Amino acid sequence: MREFLGAIKELVTNFKDPRLRDRRGHYATSHGKCMRDQYWEWNKEPETNPQDFVGKMKMSMGKWIEEGLKKYVLNRMHFYGYHLISTEIPVGGSDPAWDGYIDAMMAKRTSGGWKKFIIEIKTKYGAGASFFFRKKDVDKDYLMQIGLYLREAYKKDGIVDGCITYLLLGDACWSEMVNILCRYVPETDEVHAYAIVTFDGGQSCDVKLKVSDALKRWDKLNDLIQKKEQPAGHEYQYKYPLTDAMLRSASESALTKALDQGVVMGDWKVKYSRYKDKQLKLDGISPGYSDAERAKILSEYKRRHPASKRRKPK
């Protein structure tokens, strides 16, 4: 049995999602990625920062948890007035070409009959999950993704309602669930997130996105691909400028991680880009923080904690 974990590692490392095929369209899950990343991915350029085993394991765990939620929870909701219609439903468009998969389609029993809606399932881990549970907000990338799905579901089946369901796996919120309720508005081609619901209650929210903006973005990318013209500049910031206002708004956790672990405060899209080194080199940006930058971060930390014995970054 010594080789058992090795076999699991090999499985996770080499696993390829059978749903993925030769590229004929853009993936809905990647609509918000830096256009330069999408351009390189489309042209199959070698990744400078490929996903490591830990990253692949996290993705696999998320998928397994999602499958368990469908099999052992959603599939039994008929006892409570809900019916699971289908899962892993392919959806997409042709102008421009894109595709994706709806995680689940369900129906709720009402006085007027069954009302269909779709679900997009997400998992969050560790400190990120705990932070999200404390400060719940609407992720615009996920909202646009489900907006694309709802736009097509409306065209095919008249469905306008959906929810983004988060299963949280943090120490402070283990097994909590958060639902972002949203609706597609055909008249304005908008997806509208209007409520955030947990086991203990809910709160209203008001976030609207124009779904056609994602399609226009792909149109622009397709034009660049056809011209073989690399998109100019990175759309997101690797490092936020260390202004006084930015530092004062930074969380305690962000400051501590920057000082103790060298974690850069910036847009996560760059941090997790599989072309991060290539992006930074093209933009002339040095990775990490310089001594001067770290000293500035320490100054803000000391302002908050004047009695701290921390004298310099580790």
Tell me: pLDDT of 222 over 60.
yes
Which of 275 and 126 is assigned the larger pLDDT? 275
Handedness of CA 17, 119, 35, 238 (dihedral sign): negative
For residue 182, the model assigns a pLDDT of 98
Per-residue pLDDT, averaged over 237-242, amounts to 93
pLDDT in tens, 22-53: 567 899 999 999 999 999 999 999 999 999 99
Residue 100 tokens read as 């994706």
50 neighbors 275 (Cβ within 8 angstroms): no
Q: What is the structure's pLDDT at 2?
A: 74
Is the model's pLDDT at 311 over the cut of 60?
no
At residue 310, does pLDDT exceed 70? no
pLDDT at 257: 87
Q: Predicted confidence band at 253 (pLDDT cuts at 50, 70, 90)?
A: confident
Residue 155: per-residue pLDDT? 96
Compute the half-sphere exposure of residue 172: CA atoms within 13 Å on the CB side of its CA: 9
What is residue 49's predicted lDDT score, i.e. its pLDDT? 95
> Average pLDDT of 272-288?
92
Mean pLDDT across the stretch 93-105? 94
* Per-residue pLDDT at 210 exceeds 80: yes
- How far from the centroid of its chain's Cα atoms is residue 93's Cα? 21
The model's pTM = 0.89
pLDDT of the residue at 22: 59
Which residue would you say has higher pLDDT here, 117 or 233?
117
Q: What whole-number percentage of the chain has pLDDT above 70?
A: 96
State the CATH architecture for 25-217.
Answer: Alpha-Beta Complex (3.90)
Segment 245-255 shows an average pLDDT of 90
pLDDT tens digits for 258-273? 998 889 999 988 988 9
pLDDT at 152 over 60: yes
- Grouping H, G, I as helix, E, B as strand and the rest as coil, residue 26 is strand
Task: Kindly tell me if the per-residue pLDDT of 96 is higher than 90.
Answer: yes
What ranges in the chain are assigned the alpha helix state H? 4-14, 35-42, 53-72, 126-134, 140-157, 212-227, 244-249, 252-260, 268-271, 276-283, 291-304
The string of DSSP letters for 242-287 reads --HHHHHHS-HHHHHHHHHT----S-HHHHT-TTHHHHHHHHT--S
CATH 3.90.320 in the chain, residues? Answer: 25-217
The pLDDT of 134-147, averaged and rounded, is: 95
Give the whole-angstrom CA distance, residue 179 versus residue 253. Answer: 25
Mean pLDDT of 193-220: 97
Better-scored residue on pLDDT, 313 or 156: 156
Question: pLDDT above 90 covers what percent of the chain?
Answer: 70
Nearest to 258 by CA among 288, 232, 234: 288
Region for 232 from its dihedrals, namely left if φ exceeds 0, alpha if ψ lies in -120 to 50, beta otherwise:
beta
Highest mean predicted confidence (pLDDT) among 70-84, 120-134, 229-243: 70-84
Which of 178, 181, 182, 198 has the alpha carbon at shortest distance from 190?
Answer: 182
Mean pLDDT check: name the lowest of 6-10, 12-16, 138-142, 164-168. 12-16
Residue 170 has pLDDT above 70, yes or no: yes
Among the residue ranges 12-26, 117-131, 297-311, the one predicted with the least confidence is 12-26
- What pLDDT, on a 0 to 100 scale, did the predictor assign at position 110? 92
pLDDT for residue 201 is more than 90: yes
- The torsion angle over the Cα atoms of residues 255, 49, 267 and 228, rounded to 10 degrees, is 160
> Contact at 8 Å (CB) between 265 and 243?
no
